Amino acid sequence: MRAFASCRRLRALLPFAAALVATAAAAQDQIQSENDYPTAARADYVFGCMAASGQTRESLERCSCSVDVLASILPFDKYVQASTILSMRQGLGGRAATFRNVKQFDDAVADLRRAQAEAEVRCYR
């Protein structure tokens, strides 16, 4: 009789357990999608990196490693934001100055620089 009561309790908890597993899976998918860079963005990063460091197989491997490390540290939307800020800072005039004088922008660029430094440590030894 006890076994039967335990079985009924387990059956009663089954929908809750299933919902918990589904919620955890959805959260994991969201985390992965937030940190997953589109293929075109990864390729663009690797092409730019190789242009700066040479067109060799070793350079390809290091640049590919670098973007993988970067993606594991910095969500794609933050990467795009920091890259845009850096691009805008290269301009002249008042609009470019706006991007140079805002602490929030400095913080976004600093996050990108830290992620790039970590990628360099891991990939360029």
Per-residue pLDDT of the chain (125 residues), as tens digits, is 565 555 555 455 445 444 444 554 444 444 444 468 999 999 999 999 999 999 999 999 999 999 999 999 999 999 999 999 988 888 777 666 666 666 788 899 999 999 999 999 999 88
Same domain, 64 and 3: no
Same domain, 26 and 76: no
Same domain, 28 and 43: no
Same domain, 47 and 91: yes
Q: What is the dihedral of CA 46, 115, 76, 55, to 10 degrees?
A: 0
Same domain, 22 and 48: no
Same domain, 10 and 27: yes
Same domain, 40 and 30: no
pLDDT (0 to 100) of residue 81:
94
pLDDT (0 to 100) of residue 104:
82
Report the distance separating Cα 42 and Cα 89, nearest Å.
23
Same domain, 80 and 105: yes
The CA-atom distances, in angstroms, between 13 and each of 3, 6, 18, 22, 124 are 15, 11, 9, 14, 51
Same domain, 80 and 25: no
Residue 18 domain boundaries: 1-35
pLDDT (0 to 100) of residue 118:
97
Query: Domain total for the chain?
Result: 2
Same domain, 49 and 81: yes
The structure's pTM equals 0.66
Report the distance separating Cα 2 and Cα 72, nearest Å.
49
pLDDT (0 to 100) of residue 38:
96
Q: Which residues does 64 contact at the CB level (< 8 Å), separation at least 6?
A: 42, 46
pLDDT (0 to 100) of residue 27:
47
Same domain, 58 and 114: yes
